[in-house]
């Protein structure tokens, strides 16, 4: 595997997003490898619980903007104009479903978040059944300001309408402490206690029979299916593609090519008018 590592110990499978030099940013390999590891854990009768974490100092910094934004020209996420929405949808919906393998997994999934879980990284974390964060870690979806919509739509299912709007209409980041307070994540603990806390939570589940874990999870998930999660994710993924191909979205791509993605992100998140001269 190029971008993910996998290990099993004491009935717990650990999936590690493994691009620490890029803060585990999502590249072309990571979604497939993540889904493959979830399938591997589900096929292993020795595994009762899956933990997803990131190598190094961060969980996941989202899609690798060095590849998808800064690198000149078209790529899998940005087409030359006129663009084909269905080409974009096929790519992004495929990734969405690979992230959602964590949600659909028959075995419980726990995200262990330190550093950042932002943009596409927040999608991965929020697809897990439970999220435990370091209290100083950050989570949010900054591309909601321009260039993205969270394709998994898990913000609304975890927070409800008003708080989801609060996050997605600003693109703000919040700390693990704040995320726990609003009910976005299961728990937030000091960074030095994160590994032990996730270990305790996983160990508590490992003694439960696999069939009991599976039935409980399927029952809860079915309630969300009945609320129309699949339809919401279809719309969210279509809107995500549109967001990358609006005049403002194309401005962001051009700006990233001109000044680098870090400067473009800083301008996007500064609070100043986005895409001056372009935005309506």
Asked if residue 178 belongs to a domain, the reply is yes
Asked if residue 275 belongs to a domain, the reply is no
Average pLDDT, the chain: 97
Residue 160, sorted as left (phi over 0), alpha (psi -120 to 50) or beta, turns out to be left
Q: What is the pLDDT of residue 236?
A: 98
Two tokens at 216? Answer: 């409980």
Q: What is the pLDDT of residue 9?
A: 98
What's the whole-model pTM score? 0.97
Asked if residue 277 belongs to a domain, the reply is no
Asked if residue 52 belongs to a domain, the reply is yes
* Domain region containing 190: 4-269
Query: What CATH number corresponds to the domain at position 250?
Result: 3.90.226.10
Asked if residue 276 belongs to a domain, the reply is no
In total, how many domains does the chain have?
1
Place of tokens 């005049």: 247
Residue stretches of the chain with pLDDT short of 50: none
Asked if residue 85 belongs to a domain, the reply is yes
Asked if residue 64 belongs to a domain, the reply is yes
Asked if residue 181 belongs to a domain, the reply is yes
């Amino acid at each position: 595997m190029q971008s993910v590592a996998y290990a099993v110990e004491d009935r717990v499978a650990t999936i590690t997003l493994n691009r620490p030099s890029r803060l585990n940013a999502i590249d072309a390999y990571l979604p497939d490898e993540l889904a493959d590891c979830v399938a591997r854990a589900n096929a292993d009768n020795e595994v009762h619980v899956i933990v997803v974490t990131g190598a190094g100092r961060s969980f996941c910094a989202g899609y690798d903007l060095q590849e998808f934004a800064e690198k000149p020209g078209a790529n899998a996420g940005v087409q030359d104009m006129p663009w084909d929405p269905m080409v974009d949808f096929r790519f992004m919906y495929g990734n969405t479903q690979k992230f959602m393998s964590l949600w659909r997994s028959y075995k419980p999934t726990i995200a262990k978040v330190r550093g950042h879980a932002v943009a596409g990284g927040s999608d991965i974390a929020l697809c897990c059944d439970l999220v435990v964060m370091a209290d100083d870690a950050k989570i949010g979806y900054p591309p909601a300001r321009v260039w993205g919509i969270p394709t998994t739509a898990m913000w609304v299912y975890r927070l409800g309408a008003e708080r989801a709007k609060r996050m997605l209409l600003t693109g703000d980041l919040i700390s693990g402490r704040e995320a726990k307070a609003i009910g976005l994540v299961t728990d937030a603990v000091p960074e030095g206690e994160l590994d032990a806390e996730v270990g305790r939570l996983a160990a508590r589940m490992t003694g439960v029979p696999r069939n009991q874990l599976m039935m409980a999870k399927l029952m809860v998930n079915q309630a969300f299916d009945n609320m129309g999660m699949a339809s919401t994710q279809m719309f969210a993924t279509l809107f995500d593609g549109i967001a990358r191909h609006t005049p403002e979205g194309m401005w962001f791509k051009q700006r990233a090519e001109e000044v680098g993605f870090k400067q473009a992100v800083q301008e996007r998140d500064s609070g100043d008018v986005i895409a001056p001269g372009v935005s309506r």
